[in-house]
A and B are shown apart, each in its own frame.
Chain A
Amino acid sequence: AQSVTQLGSHVSVSEGALVLLRCNYSSSVPPYLFWYVQYPNQGLQLLLKYTTGATLVKGINGFEAEFKKSETSFHLTKPSAHMSDAAEYFCAVSDGSTNAGKSTFGDGTTLTVKP
């Protein structure tokens, strides 16, 4: 069984400030980990993913995340927030050993960027 916990349903930062969205996962098999972003009235799109190899992964729009197995975490960061980053962010985990089955999502974190 797999699960995802996103700490903080709402995060608010000032424009130009660091963005940190937290994600912890539980998986009995090697995980694939993902961050998706959902802009208002749109579907989800992939920001970045970890499958194997380098634990620090970079995605679109300046976001990055680090897979820390010992901490079962995959936190999302961006050095400097932009107004256009305001959206809902979802962390997800799937079975990396078979690359099959469902992806399990967290409850999401709404990011607000203040001018």
Chain B
Amino acid sequence: GAGVSQSPSNKVTEKGKDVELRCDPISGHTALYWYRQSLGQGLEFLIYFQGNSAPDKSGLPSDRFSAERTGGSVSTLTIQRTQQEDSAVYLCASRNPDRGGELFFGEGSRLTVL
């Protein structure tokens, strides 16, 4: 497809379980971002990948959170030993730095931790 694709769109899990969220960016976009949006909150930056550079992980809230980007394309955000406060919508965005600074967002993965 032409847009950013995220899966799953909804995930319900039990406290303590691990979850993986996937993001497939727009083809050719070298920059990829993960943000978290909690109910009634703004967007919280989590992590940023740019090409082959080391990712900016400064927004990851704890060592239970990790992300990787394979082959400069698809990214996976992993949350280990989920907690109820991890419940949120996780948004992925991609960007082509050669064509301005705007981000193109997926529709998000809604995570509910029971």
Complex alpha-carbon distance, A36 and B33, angstroms: 16
Q: A99 to B33, Cβ gap below 8 A? A: no
Q: What's the tally of chain A residues with a CB closer than 8 Å to chain B?
A: 24
Among residues 50 to 78 in chain B, which have CB atoms less than 8 Å away from a CB atom of chain A? Answer: 50, 56, 59
Complex alpha-carbon distance, A105 and B43, angstroms: 6
- CB of B42 closer than 8 Å to a CB of A: yes
Instruction: Beyond A101-B56, A105-B45, A107-B42, list 7 extra A-B contacts (CB 8 Å).
Output: A43-B107, A100-B31, A100-B50, A102-B59, A103-B103, A104-B45, A107-B41
Q: How many A-B residue pairs have CB under 8 A?
A: 61
Which B residues are CB-close (under 8 A) to A99? 97, 100-101
Interface SS majority for chain B: strand
- Write the A91-104 contact mask toward B (1 if CB under 8 angstroms, else 0): 01010100111111
Which B residues are CB-close (under 8 A) to A102? 33, 45, 48, 56, 59
